[in-house]
Chains A and B, each alone.
Chain A
């Protein structure tokens, strides 16, 4: 892989779901269903389609995640880019049928390593992060 890949990390989350892949596919590709578990969005499962996921804005962060659909293989594989706060990663959902339903695997790759400027505050200063903490605290109470 390239140098930039070596400086990033990948997150993997897996779940065994007692539902067929077809049903899970709908939940992760239909805009109104995505909104019910992820975020408000204008998603469409078409390669190259740009879309936005909208979370609650806080000072210093507009709550918007910009995405672009990379791969669509019906009931099997969905991937899109995920860009927010100066960091772009790729989110990939993989559905594998099992006897009991579906194995759902989420992979998010492209996280900056601790050597990256994100940690050193060049692109994303800790000062602006502190401003968000107050909002988070208010939201938790």
Chain B
């Protein structure tokens, strides 16, 4: 449990829940812009698989791409992680969940 997860971050969370996608994202964040071709080697999976993962990352706005000739270049957008670091949303969900439990406890307690 990491103090709940805001609903708005759901797509982000799902995109990053996969270790291969997380590795791709980390690599782009660390090493800067890369082509799909350059990403395929170290990822240890096929180029179509890498492309599929990049689509998911793109949907979560974690990466952006630009075309240059026949190559597509991808780069990371770490700022897309901001909703995950939105403490107020995290704690809002956390306390609402805990207050549900508190109400449950109050019903079970001696008067």
Q: Chain B interface secondary structure, helix, strand, loop or mixed?
A: helix
CB of B109 within 8 A of CB of A136, answer no
**Cβ contacts under 8 Å, B105 to chain A:** 27, 33, 36-37
Could you tell me if A111 and B88 are in contact, using CB atoms closer than 8 angstroms?
yes
Contact of A136 among B13, B95, B98, B106 (CB under 8 A): B13
Verify B1–A55 contact, CB threshold 8 A: yes
- Across the interface, do A136 and B81 meet the contact criterion of CB distance under 8 Å? no
Known: A11-B95, A133-B22. A119 touches B106 (CB 8 A): no
Minimum CB–CB distance from B37 to chain A (whole Å) comes to: 25
Q: How large is the interface on B (under 10, 10 to 19, 20 to 34, 35 or more residues)?
A: 20 to 34
> Nearest CB to that of A15 among chain B residues?
B99
| Size bracket, chain A contacts | 35 or more
Q: Which residues of A contact B91 (CB under 8 A)?
A: 11, 108, 111
A13-B85 in contact given A37-B104, A126-B78 (Cβ < 8 Å): no
Interface positions of B (Cβ within 8 A of A) = 1-3, 5, 13, 16-17, 19, 22, 25-26, 78, 81-82, 84-85, 87-88, 91-92, 95-96, 98-99, 101-106, 109, 111
